[in-house]
Amino acid sequence: MVAREIRILFTGTPGCGKTTAVHTVGALACQHARTTRRRTTTIGQDYAELPLAGDIVLRCYGTPGQRRFAFIWELLARTADGLIILVDETRPTPVADMEMYLENFHELVSAGAALVCVVKAASLDNTAVISGLEERMQAMDLKVPLIFADTRDRQDMLRVVDKLLQQLAARS
Ligand SMILES: Nc1nc2c(ncn2[C@@H]2O[C@H](COP(=O)(O)OP(=O)(O)OP(=O)(O)O)[C@@H](O)[C@H]2O)c(=O)[nH]1
Ligand SMILES: [Mg+2]
């Protein structure tokens, strides 16, 4: 019997890597994982689960990226424990993208349940994007951890999930 579950959401702009992130986290559990993955844009939602120590199951959901599916974001947010906002650095306005998702999920964000994860690094020097994102968070009076990762990389995603779990544990 499952004693406890932790539900985390991956969100972000279309094509930022939500499906990939969920799949990579699911792949951490290898044969134990149940994942769904689509090669095209996501219409419903992505899902993967990862068994953690102590009979805890980590349930990971990817939101559909397009705004017309905002009602699904709301449904998922209602039962989520944590949120990972994927910010695609190659888009023209990553700072505005981050701000939009911080606002869309403001309840989880203000509860300290969110992490911003910058993906698709455009260059080796990320100083400009980091300071842009940090300045905007300061202006919004938010302290949300910022982390860089490649959603295709298992070690990176392990680091991201671990950071969010630490943050959730520190809150309770
Ligand atoms: N360079 C790089 N490419 C990535 C990364 N994550 C995903 N990709 C690639 O980006 C493309 C889109 O990834 P998806 O996971 O389908 O993105 P999505 O956010 O689920 O897209 P929608 O469902 O359309 O919103 C794929 O070709 C991935 O291989 C990353 O961290 N870095
Ligand atoms: Mg997708």
Q: Supply 28's token pair.
A: 């951490």
pLDDT given at position 33? 47
Nearest alpha-carbon partner for 11 in 78, 60, 79: 60
Q: Is the beta carbon of 16 within 6 A of some atom in ligand 1?
A: yes
Residue 148 sits at φ, ψ, to 5 deg, of: -100, 140
Most ligand 1 atoms within 8 A of CB, residue of 19, 24, 90, 153 to mutate:
19
- Across the chain, what does the average pLDDT equal? 87
Q: pLDDT per residue over 99-132, tens digit each?
A: 999 998 999 999 999 999 999 988 778 888 889 9
Beta bridge partners of 35: 48
Most ligand 1 atoms within 8 A of CB, residue of 97, 151, 157, 159 to mutate:
151
pLDDT given at position 18? 95
Nearest CA to ligand 1 atom 3: 120
Quick check: 38 pLDDT over 60? no
Domain ranges of the chain: 4-171
pLDDT given at position 21? 96
Average pLDDT over residues 67-82: 86
What is the four-CA torsion angle of 66, 69, 73, 76, rounded to 10 degrees? Answer: -130
Q: From the CA of 43, how far away is ligand 2's center (Å)?
A: 8
Q: Is the beta carbon of 61 within 6 A of some atom in ligand 1?
A: no
- Which pTM was predicted? 0.91
Nearest alpha-carbon partner for 165 in 1, 2, 3, 4: 4
Mean pLDDT: which of 17-21, 53-57, 127-131 is highest? 17-21
Nearest CA to ligand 1 atom 14: 17
Task: Judge: domain 4-171, CATH 3.30.300.180.
Answer: no
Q: pLDDT per residue over 39-48, tens digit each?
A: 455 556 789 9
Strands 82-88 and 146-148: unpaired
Most ligand 1 atoms within 8 A of CB, residue of 9, 16, 38 to mutate:
16
- Whether the Cβ atoms of residue 59 and residue 73 lie closer than 8 Å to each other: no
Closest atom of ligand 1 relative to the 16 alpha carbon: 19
The residue whose two tokens read 């309840």 is 107
Average pLDDT over residues 73-85: 92
